[in-house]
Amino acid sequence: MKIGIVCYPTFGGSGVVATELGIELSKRGHEIHFITYNQPVRLEQLSNNVHYHEVNVPEYPLFHYQPYELALSSKLVDMVKLHNIEILHVHYAIPHAYAAYMAQKMLREESIYIPIVTTLHGTDITLVGSHPFYKPAVTFSINKSDAVTAVSQSLKDDTMRLFDIKNEIHVVTNFIDINKYNFHFTDCQRDMMAHENEKIITHISNFRPVKRIEDVINVFYNVQKEIPAKLMMVGEGPEKEKAEQLCEKLDILEKVIFFGRSHEIDKILCFSDLFLLPSETESFGLAALEAMASGVPVISSNTGGIPEVNKQGVTGFLSHVGDIDDMSKNAIHILSNQERLKTFKQNAKVEAAKFDIHNIVPQYETIYENTLKMC
Ligand code: GMT
């Protein structure tokens, strides 16, 4: 199939999932066209059947907000015609599903029917999409998609609860390529980060308020009082400064390393003992799955889709949002016994393997095939 993929080209989970999906589909013989405003960060190599088409939005002083949807829908029309793209898969409803629908309408005028598959990722539903400013447009574009998928059962339930949805929503979970995590770094360079007796705790996110960065710091603060430990904070975002200030206030700055954005997530996870994800809401928690695939147990909140990934008492522990004491207690429980830590690490890997890319991508292929048949 010739598939157009629209996504955010950033470090965010939805962009990562869309990019990894496109790369895997290309390996399975499909021709993939990424259509977005930058080359996706995880798309390192373009090839015969992986193409990238940039959406340009020229700055014009009259516009307070540059009309990205307009530029995207025009680009979609041009690319569908030029490359005979058969199906569009848009990741993140806002504004991608809306722009795709406009492109579909324009192409119809030329007797071309391009089906749209929309994948809902989370914040496009739970945080941004359900805002009254956007809700009618988001509802409309979900209902007008030819097929809709959600990355967890929890996100499907939220979507059905928050919007008036007429379409069926298929749950196709996020995934990881487990082979990529079967690495054995001979030297994780762990000793550059921590002393031998110290445990390494990691958090990776976009440092937005929804990630509850202060909870990460407070849990770590409690843990390091009991167990020698270091905290790796990976990512950039609006809460980073607050986090640094809190570390300073708690006098733990020398135990916390702020990496900023990193392309070396696998190396960081390789030397990690525990992953913290205390989010306010999380439709899936791809970062937790990536940690588990590296054999890192997870201490998380029990919100949204996280319980579909992190299994209580098996791959880690889940607590109510904001329950720092419970998260600290659970973290200490795992880290304080070497044998127990080893078991949790093994369990994390086994559970993560259930989300292997090779099990999930065929589900998308089936959805494309069925959608094409229906149109
Ligand atoms: O977590 C974020 O803020 C980024 C966001 C995104 O759109 O990239 O992540 C969402 O999609 C990911 C991929 O499907 C999910 O793993 C994340 O759980 C989800 N984030 C939230 O629901 C807050």
Ranking 51-60, 93-102, 188-197 by mean pLDDT, the lowest is 188-197
Q: What domains lie within the chain, and their CATH numbers?
A: 2-175+356-374 (3.40.50.2000), 179-353 (3.40.50.2000)
pLDDT band at residue 191, thresholds of 50, 70 and 90?
confident
| Ligand 1 contact, 210 CB (< 6 A) | yes
Mean pLDDT of the chain: 94
Q: What is the pLDDT of residue 43?
A: 86
| Ligand 1 contact, 17 CB (< 6 A) | yes
E strand or H helix at 269: helix 265-270
> What does the pLDDT look like over 235-282, one tens digit per residue?
999 999 999 999 999 999 999 999 988 878 888 999 999 999 999 999
Q: CA-CA distance, 289 to 175, in Å (whole number)?
A: 8
Q: What is the pLDDT of residue 266?
A: 86
Q: What is the pLDDT of residue 235?
A: 95
Q: What is the pLDDT of residue 330?
A: 98
Buried b (16+ CB within 10 A) or exposed e, 169-208: bbbbbbbbbbeebeeeeeebebeeebeeebbbbbbbbbbb
The three state secondary structure string of 33-87 is: EEEECCCCCCCCCCECCEEEEECCCCCCCCCCCCCHHHHHHHHHHHHHHHHCCCE
Six-digit token string for 375: 């149109």
Q: CA-CA distance, 233 to 250, in Å (whole number)?
A: 16
| Ligand 1 contact, 73 CB (< 6 A) | no
- % of the chain residues with pLDDT over 70: 99
Q: What is the pLDDT of residue 183?
A: 62
| Ligand 1 contact, 282 CB (< 6 A) | yes
Six-digit token string for 259: 């990496």
Q: What is the pLDDT of residue 184?
A: 59
Measure 18 CA to ligand 1 centroid, in angstroms: 12
| Ligand 1 contact, 240 CB (< 6 A) | no
| Ligand 1 contact, 14 CB (< 6 A) | yes
**CA-closest residue to ligand 1 atom 20:** 282
> What does the pLDDT look like over 301-321, one tens digit per residue?
999 999 999 999 999 999 999
Q: Determine the average pLDDT of the residues in 162-186.
A: 87
Q: Is the predicted pLDDT of residue 187 greater than 80, yes or no?
A: no
The preferred substitution site among 89, 90, 283, 308 for testing ligand 1, maximizing ligand atoms within 8 Å of CB, is 283
Q: What is the pLDDT of residue 50?
A: 95
Q: Is the predicted pLDDT of residue 100 greater than 80, yes or no?
A: yes
- CA proximity to 100, closest of 127, 85, 118, 112: 118
DSSP type of residue 308 = G
Is residue 132 classed exposed, middle or buried when 0-12, 13-18 and 19+ CB atoms within 10 A define those classes?
exposed
Q: Determine the average pLDDT of the residues in 153-166.
A: 95
Q: What is the pLDDT of residue 185?
A: 59
| Ligand 1 contact, 40 CB (< 6 A) | no
Measure 182 CA to ligand 1 centroid, in angstroms: 24
Q: Determine the average pLDDT of the residues in 189-200.
A: 88
Q: What is the pLDDT of residue 55?
A: 97
Q: Is the predicted pLDDT of residue 343 greater than 70, yes or no?
A: yes
Query: Higher-confidence residue: 47 or 101?
Result: 101
Measure 218 CA to ligand 1 centroid, in angstroms: 23
Sequence letter at residue 211: K
| Ligand 1 contact, 286 CB (< 6 A) | yes
Query: Higher-confidence residue: 40 or 156?
Result: 156
The preferred substitution site among 16, 121, 156, 205 for testing ligand 1, maximizing ligand atoms within 8 Å of CB, is 121
Q: CA-CA distance, 281 to 322, in Å (whole number)?
A: 11
The preferred substitution site among 94, 286, 290 for testing ligand 1, maximizing ligand atoms within 8 Å of CB, is 286
Query: Higher-confidence residue: 264 or 213?
Result: 213
Q: Which atom of ligand 1 is nearest to the CA of 284?
A: 18
Q: What is the pLDDT of residue 48?
A: 81
Cβ pair 75, 35 in contact under 8 A: yes
* CB count in 10 Å sphere of residue 345: 19
| Ligand 1 contact, 12 CB (< 6 A) | yes
Measure 287 CA to ligand 1 centroid, in angstroms: 9
Residue 2 forms beta bridges with which residues?
31
Q: Residue with structure tokens 């977005």?
A: 36
Q: Is the predicted pLDDT of residue 192 greater than 90, yes or no?
A: no
> What does the pLDDT look like over 52-89, one tens digit per residue?
999 999 888 899 989 999 999 999 999 999 999 999 99
ipTM of the complex as predicted: 0.96
Measure 307 CA to ligand 1 centroid, in angstroms: 15
| Ligand 1 contact, 208 CB (< 6 A) | yes
pTM for the predicted model, two decimal places = 0.94
Q: CA-CA distance, 366 to 23, in Å (whole number)?
A: 17
